[in-house]
């Protein structure tokens, strides 16, 4: 059962004040302005959602302290809601979301009967091994870590304390996880790097004998893949957060606190500094360095070393001002082409004129002829 609060209790919880609508209205959920029903609370924190606000069916809406109902039409559905003024609607709403959230799934400590645990595995205190998981020989799992249903933990893998592996994660042999690492379902850590040598017309596999080291407080998204190193370790620095379907190739290393957004890819041996952001679908070539705090924009590339604090945009990764200027300039081309035509016409006319006048004598290489003959 979800908890239920009155609008007045909601106001008290978020430290706000009701200034419109009934205080006794029962609220049992938190949702967006667009999805909310009359038993939900919603919030209005950004002017771009004004149309959604006016249409909302939410029972309670958290609004900024300077909000009033003067601008609303008489028939705006919002008029039916209870409105609560708060300092910061976005933050206040987070409290409600947590209040109304369903309880997270519980993972009782212990090893599920259907899990398979190899020899010489060390399990810390309070570890939970969920159904159908496979833990291979010699793995070590830190206190309170949860290994989700159907996960695979390869031979000798080391996992720190308080980690959470969601279902169907694969950690191949040679993977080392720090503490409080969260891995979403389907991620694959430690697949072979993509390395081949062309020999007599065939691509011969270069052994990929290293591993993957993931530091404390890293989060890795669903179905993301991080390849093992050819030697040594592919390395993800402390606190770096990685979204879904990201590809990090062999021997990549990231500094701490990077953000790598969905579907971005980094080729082999490239090194990211700290606080680097790769936006969605960004792609980075191999063997380069991305400086601290650099940002590679969505869908953009980087093909050579990137200085710290740069913001790159575009397929070939130009500084964003340059890339934007290029775009603007390209759009000016139709006008430029037109002007060019006009200039050519005018110039031709002037030349004709010059030819017709005395100037023409010089222009056409006959300085001694008189003007009249040019006109003939």
Which residues are tagged catalytic? Answer: 250
Across the strands, what pairs with 189? 171, 226
**Could you tell me the smallest distance in angstroms from the CB atom of residue 73 to a second copy?**
22
**Residue number with CB closer to a second copy (37 or 69):** 37
**Residue number with CB closer to a second copy (26 or 314):** 314
Strand 82-86 with 122-123, pairing? unpaired
Q: At what angle do helices 333-356 and 320-331 cross, to 10 degrees?
A: 50
d(CA 375, CA 63): 82
**Could you tell me the smallest distance in angstroms from the CB atom of residue 243 to a second copy?**
4
**Residue number with CB closer to a second copy (11 or 149):** 149
Sorted by sequence, the CB contacts under 8 Å of residue 311 that are 6+ apart come out as 294, 295, 297, 319, 320
**Could you tell me the smallest distance in angstroms from the CB atom of residue 101 to a second copy?**
4
Q: Which residue has the tokens 């971005």?
A: 264
**Residue number with CB closer to a second copy (136 or 161):** 136
Per DSSP, 306 falls in state: B
Per DSSP, 207 falls in state: P
Query: Phi and psi for 147 in degrees, rounded to 5?
Result: -105, 110
**Could you tell me the smallest distance in angstroms from the CB atom of residue 83 to a second copy?**
19
CB atoms within 10 A of CB 141: 26
d(CA 288, CA 268): 9
* Cα angle 243, 255, 157; round to 5: 70
Contact 116, 133 (CB under 8 A): yes
**Could you tell me the smallest distance in angstroms from the CB atom of residue 155 to a second copy?**
4
Rg (CA), the chain: 32
d(CA 155, CA 151): 13
d(CA 94, CA 310): 33
**Could you tell me the smallest distance in angstroms from the CB atom of residue 298 to a second copy?**
6
């Amino acid at each position: 059962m979800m908890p239920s609060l009155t609008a007045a209790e909601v106001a008290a919880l978020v430290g706000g004040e009701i200034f419109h609508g009934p205080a006794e209205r029962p609220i049992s959920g938190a949702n967006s302005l667009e999805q909310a029903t009359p038993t939900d609370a919603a919030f209005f924190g950004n002017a771009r959602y004004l149309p959604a606000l006016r249409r909302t069916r939410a029972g309670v809406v958290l609004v900024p302290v300077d909000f009033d109902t003067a601008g609303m039409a008489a028939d705006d559905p919002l008029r039916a809601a209870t409105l609560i003024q708060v300092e910061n609607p976005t933050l206040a709403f987070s409290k409600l979301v947590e209040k109304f959230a369903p309880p997270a799934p519980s993972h009782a400590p212990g090893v599920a009967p259907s899990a398979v645990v190899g020899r010489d595995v060390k399990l810390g205190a309070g570890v939970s091994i969920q159904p159908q998981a496979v833990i291979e020989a010699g793995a070590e799992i830190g206190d309170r870590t949860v290994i989700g249903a159907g996960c695979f933990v390869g031979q000798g893998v080391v996992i720190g304390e308080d980690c959470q592996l969601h279902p169907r994660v694969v950690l191949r042999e040679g993977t080392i996880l720090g503490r409080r690492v969260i891995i979403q379902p389907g991620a694959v850590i430690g697949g072979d790097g993509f390395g081949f040598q062309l020999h007599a017309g065939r691509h011969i596999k270069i052994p990929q004998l290293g591993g993957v080291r993931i530091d404390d407080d890293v989060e890795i998204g669903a179905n993301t893949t991080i390849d093992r190193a050819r030697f040594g370790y592919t390395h993800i620095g402390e606190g770096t957060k990685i979204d879904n379907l990201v590809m990090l190739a062999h021997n990549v290393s990231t500094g701490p606190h990077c953000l790598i957004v969905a579907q971005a890819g980094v080729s082999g041996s490239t090194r990211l500094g700290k606080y680097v952001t790769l936006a969605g679908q960004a792609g980075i070539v191999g063997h380069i360095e991305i400086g601290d705090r650099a940002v590679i924009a969505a869908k953009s590339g980087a093909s050579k070393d990137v200085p710290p604090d740069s913001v790159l945009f575009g397929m070939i990764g130009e500084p964003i001002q340059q890339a934007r200027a290029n775009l603007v300039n390209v759009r000016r081309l139709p006008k430029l082409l037109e002007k060019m035509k006009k200039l050519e016409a005018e110039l031709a006319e002037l030349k004709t004129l010059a030819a017709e006048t005395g100037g023409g004598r010089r222009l056409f290489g006959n300085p001694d002829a008189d003007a009249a003959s040019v006109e003939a």
